[in-house]
Amino acid sequence: MTRQSIALAFITSILIFSGGSPSSGEEAAKQYRIKPSDVVVPADVPLGQYRRSIQPFENWILICDENLKAKNRVCNVSQTIVDETGAMIFSWSLAATQKGQPFLILRTAPDAKTEAGISLSFADVKEPLRAGFQGCSPTVCLGQVPVAPLLKSMIGKGAVATVSYQTKTGQTVTLSAPLKGLREAVASIK
């Protein structure tokens, strides 16, 4: 190998490893940027002092956000059901009041008929649970229901809820939402 061919091979390897190409003048004009974190850090928490953990369970996902400086952690157990296009049709999360009382936050597509509410039915239970809507935004409608003894029992059994709500166009959205995995997700929060 001659000195000239060694120098050419060296220059070519530098261009390849640096992402450049000897014949691509257009490539050099592209603008690149750093993708920001998917986790939005609260304004009062310094960078590097906030941690999110995601732990999947059967049908449910446990997400915990932890402020390392303040040594506090907030967890949320959620399930999301999407349509064939990937759009959210129904989602619910287990949350707690400041006094520790559990409740389910219910989310539907933004076209829900709010005055009709949401119905949660279970096999072998005569009357469905009804939840009202608190309101809608352009992306979601929100409702909530307390975790009363019936819901606690259904969570313990890993039952399947039949969720139903009406849209503003008069359609009824009906879907199955399994509670299996929720009890295990909650039990894993330490």
Q: What is the pLDDT, as a whole number, of residue 100?
A: 82
Q: Is residue 37 part of a domain?
A: no
Q: What is the pLDDT, as a whole number, of residue 172?
A: 96
- CA distances in angstroms from 123 to 105, 127, 146, 154, listed in the order given: 22, 10, 19, 10
**Range of 155's domain?**
50-187
Q: Is residue 63 part of a domain?
A: yes
pTM above 0.85, yes or no: no
- Segments of the chain with pLDDT less than 50: 3, 5-17, 22
Determine how many CB atoms are found less than 10 A away from the CB of residue 101.
Answer: 10
Per-position b or e across 44-80, b if 16+ CB within 10 A of its CB: eeeeeebeeeeeebebbbbbbbbbeeeeeeebbbbbe
Q: What is the pLDDT, as a whole number, of residue 37?
A: 87
Q: Is residue 25 part of a domain?
A: no
Q: Is residue 39 part of a domain?
A: no
Q: Is residue 93 part of a domain?
A: yes
Q: Is residue 127 part of a domain?
A: yes
Residues in the chain: 190
Determine how many CB atoms are found less than 10 A away from the CB of residue 21.
Answer: 13
Q: What is the pLDDT, as a whole number, of residue 8?
A: 45
Q: What is the pLDDT, as a whole number, of residue 95?
A: 87
Write the CATH number for 60.
2.60.40.1880
Q: Is residue 165 part of a domain?
A: yes
Tally of domains in the chain: 1
Q: What is the pLDDT, as a whole number, of residue 30?
A: 86
Q: Is residue 171 part of a domain?
A: yes
